[in-house]
Chains A and B, each alone.
Chain A
């Protein structure tokens, strides 16, 4: 398959990559850049484990092609972990034991981060709606929702 040259800004660094046209953003991050904090759970846009920010907006990276990201900026859990607002969320998740196996956690945190950036005073209902696309099988969600509320308060 013919490779296409793309330039993507990932966590603030410019990356120039030769990628096949069918490579997903998820696999570009995990395979080409070894940014394994972004998880692969279904590759069908149904579970949210691969959520990253594309131009500041949360997307399922399995449903975006790498070539679509040329010239755009992508932020993953590795990069976002340096930001204060994300640290607040992470600390709240840790304090409230909103993490068990941890596989959904990066995607969950990024969806929550995007929500709080958009609307720091989100209601319970808005938090649930924002996290609807992020599946978790361990926690039962309640602690996750409480953690997002706690981070919003701080």
Chain B
């Protein structure tokens, strides 16, 4: 495919977001804001207090008799397994519980208080089992099996579970032979890192409301990144047709991955099935949000990397143990992504990688902004730094020398497309005045600079589809329908820009049809993987082209002209041949009368478009080799200048710079907004965040003990640079950037800390306490 070089004026323009007037005035409707009236029931969930136990019995009889209780449900009613890539979980635990917080029973009652009281009346008898909290323990041959039936689970054909073990996916890459080249290396580094669990922390906790009508049709209102995937997963879990389930997804108050797939949303449906006609609402408390849904799974990574005396990286051995938690239905694909992207953004001829997804009795790992890439790059980018230092080469030059380029054959055998990674590295280095030492502001402080590069591909099945519709109103304005979700990133705005630019109508009057509703909105796989601008964008463009075609058909027939001579400018159809013109409003719905009132031409106009990549191939199970592993890679880099306080260990970020190659920025200010939000979320995960567990129970499930960045934790200066090397099949070359800005952050800051004080730590968070302890150990 050839990139379109004719760029309309609206592409690359910072138009006002379509959603902000409502969001600024408190009138934007989020799921918990939808009004259901007095018939509404409130659900609460009885959860496992054990990390691993057999359920011997559940007695709900007392709870059922409590006045005000309308429905009680347990796993006995829902035997089918659920899962996106591996069906390994149930709506409610059935024979055993596998993590603290796992749903065991649910109650729907007239108030939250009654529902909560009813939970206390449910008696569950457990038989505790030994529990496992680290992937290294879980892979031992004598480890207790967390999923003894793993071999029988239904699984996607690109995921490879190992029956009778705790390994739910093993992704291998074999390219060349690292063993043959270690001796030829001038420097080799061997390193181990551990990146702990963190939580997404959307400001809006998960909320879902389910209603089942007398005929058994289900309606679900949910705060969801994935209304269509959710509908499909629920249908399979309940043995229903997706056509009998309707999911309505209002604005999402922050997602970052945790509202993808299906997590708690099936619980209110289970209760609504037993209280037909009543809407049943389940809203997670902040505490539940922390450890009963998806979290970012932990990673234990072992790396061996070597280069020659000129700095060429020759070989990599990368072994990743992902702590997938009690269910890895989504997490298995993070393992796969970690596997095929195992080299980081570097051209390495000899690669051996093993990426293991491992069950533990920790909380469930799932998609988190970056989908494994932050964790992977935390290891890779520190090793790259160390190799450069070992051979005495500048760390920026070293990266430029090894960075992937157009035509490189990647570790999976895929051929790399054009990418702006070198430009990104150069620009961030230049911005922090790389190589130029700067003075700390006080004698007890040390300054340092660090850099890290990254890449990330959308991780998804080979065939995730997007679609879009455009309806013309009587006045020639348009309604745009998409199934992609607005989760804060600006997806609706970018979709409207693409539609207006393609069609030739003004942007401002466009209305994006919302909320996303599986009954009325066109299909979209999920709002994940930073894929919407690219994939949904292509569908919107095609819908707009289809709309144009219909418009031109009507006008060319009415005027007796050829469609190729027609153009639409600012909502007016113009003929380049005859110079005639007609505004869309004059015929958008009612058509154009023929001469002498001899009938009419046209009718309502309704454009449609779709996009689905059709070129992603499978990868060999034993070598990870295949012609095209992924659709594309977005690349980028970050550089930091920091100051470490020797008396406290506290780090202050002086300057934080991002550069990412987005192919084409449809709305540059929204791209920069993603870079800024991402880098601060990345900084937060680097300095503060860690879920602390004791015997599987999270110890810090609140904002006091699990601190996220506040207004007081910002870098003194944040800079965001856009690089544009177009993608051949993106709209005007665009590719996604939603997740990428927090991917290199941990590594870049770790490298800056090393530059400042010469210490490297096993993993984040780099708290003042941890840094101070390391400084003391080194007598600094």
Residues of A in contact with B (beta carbons under 8 Å apart):
30, 34, 36-44, 46-47, 49, 76-78, 81, 90, 93-94, 97, 99-106, 109, 127-129, 131-132, 134-145
Among B21, B32, B488, B703, point to the contact of A138 (Cβ < 8 A).
B488
Partner-binding segment picked from B450-458, B551-559, B675-683: B675-683
- Taking a contact as CB atoms closer than 8 A, the residue among A44, A77, A81 that contacts B286 in the complex is A44
Please tell me if the beta carbons of A44 and B677 are within 8 angstroms of each other in the complex: no
Interface contact A37-B27, CB-CB below 8 Å: yes
Other A-B contacts than A101-B487, A103-B254, A138-B254, 8 sampled, CB-CB below 8 A, are A37-B26, A39-B253, A46-B704, A78-B26, A93-B24, A100-B490, A109-B24, A143-B676
Report the bound CA distance from A38 to B253 in whole Å: 13
Chain A residues near B708 (CB, 8 Å)?
A: 135, 137
Known contacts A41-B204, A137-B254, A142-B714; A97/B670 CB under 8 A: yes
Q: Which residues of A contact B681 (CB under 8 A)?
A: 137, 140
Q: Kindly report which residue of chain B lies nearest to residue A79, judged by CB atoms.
A: B26
List B residues 208-266 near A (Cβ within 8 Å).
251-256
* A106 surroundings in chain B (CB, below 8 A): 26
A143 and B254 contact, Cβ closer than 8 Å, known pairs A42-B702, A78-B26: no
Q: Which of A37, A47, A78, A142 contacts B718 (CB 8 A)?
A: A142
Q: Is the interface of B mostly helix, strand, loop or mixed?
A: loop
Cβ B285 vs Cβ A101 within 8 A? no
Whether B32 contacts A135 by the Cβ 8 Å rule is: no
Residues on B with beta carbons closer than 8 Å to the beta carbon of A47: 203, 286, 703
Q: Give the docked Cα–Cα distance between A106 and B26 (Å).
A: 6
For A103, give its contact among B202, B670, B710 (CB under 8 Å).
B202
A81→B711 CA distance, assembly (Å) = 24
CB contact between B703 and one of A46, A77, A100, A136 (< 8 Å): that residue: A46
Nearest CB of chain B from residue A55's CB, rounded to whole Å: 20
Interface size of B as a range? 35 or more
Q: Is B29's beta carbon under 8 Å from chain A?
A: yes
**Least Cβ distance of A144 to chain B in Å?**
8
Complex CA distance for A109 and B23, rounded to whole angstroms: 11
Q: Which residue of A lies closest to B14 (CB)?
A: A97
A101 touches B251 (CB 8 A): yes
Q: Tell me, in angstroms, the Cα distance from A56 to B252 when the chains sit together.
A: 30
Of the residues B32, B253, B283, B718, contact of A102 by C-beta under 8 Å: B253
Question: What residues of chain A lie closer than 8 Å to B202, measured between beta carbons?
Answer: 101, 103, 137
In the complex, how many angstroms separate the beta carbon of A111 from the nearest chain B beta carbon? 10
Cβ B703 vs Cβ A38 within 8 A: no
Q: How far is the CB of B251 from chain A (nearest CB, A)?
A: 7
Closest Cβ of chain A: how far from B116's Cβ, in Å?
Answer: 12
Please determine whether A94 and B21 come into contact, CB atoms closer than 8 angstroms.
yes
Question: Are A77's CB and B25's CB within 8 A?
Answer: yes
A99 touches B711 (CB 8 A): no
Bound: A135/B669 CA distance, A: 22
Name the distance in Å between A127's Cβ and chain B's nearest Cβ: 8
B673 contacts which of A36, A42, A93, A143 (Cβ < 8 Å)?
A: A143
B714 and A140 contact, CB distance less than 8 A: yes
CB–CB B23/A99 < 8 A: yes
* Residues from chain B with Cβ under 8 Å of A136 in the complex: 203
Is the pair B204, A100 in contact by a Cβ cutoff of 8 Å?
no
- A residues within 8 A CB of B35? 34
The 5 closest A-B pairs by CB, nearest first: A37-B26, A102-B23, A101-B488, A103-B253, A140-B680
Of the residues A44, A100, A132, A134, contact of B488 by C-beta under 8 Å: A100
- Complex CA gap A122/B570 in Å reads 44
Given known A128-B712, A138-B488, contact A102–B201 (CB-CB < 8 A): no
B20 interfacial by beta-carbon distance below 8 Å: yes
Query: Given B27, B254, B679, which contacts A101 in the complex, CB threshold below 8 Å?
Result: B254
A139 — which chain B residues lie within 8 A by C-beta? 673, 676-677, 680
CB distance from B13 to the nearest CB of A (A): 13
Contact among B19, B670, B676, B703 for A140, CB-based, below 8 A: B676
Say yes or no for B378: interface residue by CB 8 A criterion: no
B20 touches A44 (CB 8 A): no
Q: How far is the CA of A102 from the CA of B35 in the complex (A)?
A: 19
Cα distance A143–B669 in the bound complex, in angstroms: 11
The answer to whether A105 touches B680 (Cβ under 8 A) is: no
B714 touches A94 (CB 8 A): no
- Is A42 within 8 A of B703, CB to CB? yes
8 A Cβ contacts from B496-544 to A? none
Q: Are B677 and A140 in contact (CB under 8 A)?
A: yes
Distance in angstroms between the alpha carbons of A131 and B35 in the assembled complex = 30
For the complex, what is the distance from the CA of A81 to the CA of B704, rounded to whole Å?
A: 31
> What's the minimum C-beta distance from A51 to chain B, rounded to whole angstroms?
11
Residues of A within 8 A of B17 (CB): 94, 97, 99
- Chain A nearest Cβ from B17, distance in angstroms: 7
Please determine whether A97 and B673 come into contact, CB atoms closer than 8 angstroms: yes
| A10 CB to nearest B CB, Å | 13
CB proximity of B181 to chain A, nearest CB, Å: 42
Q: Which residue of B lies closest to A81 (CB)?
A: B25
Least CB distance from A95 to B in Å reads: 8
What residues of A have a CB within 8 angstroms of the CB of B165 in the complex?
A: none
- If A90-B24, A140-B677 touch, whether A101 touches B205 (CB-CB below 8 Å) is no
Chain A residue numbers with a CB within 8 Å of B251 are: 101-102
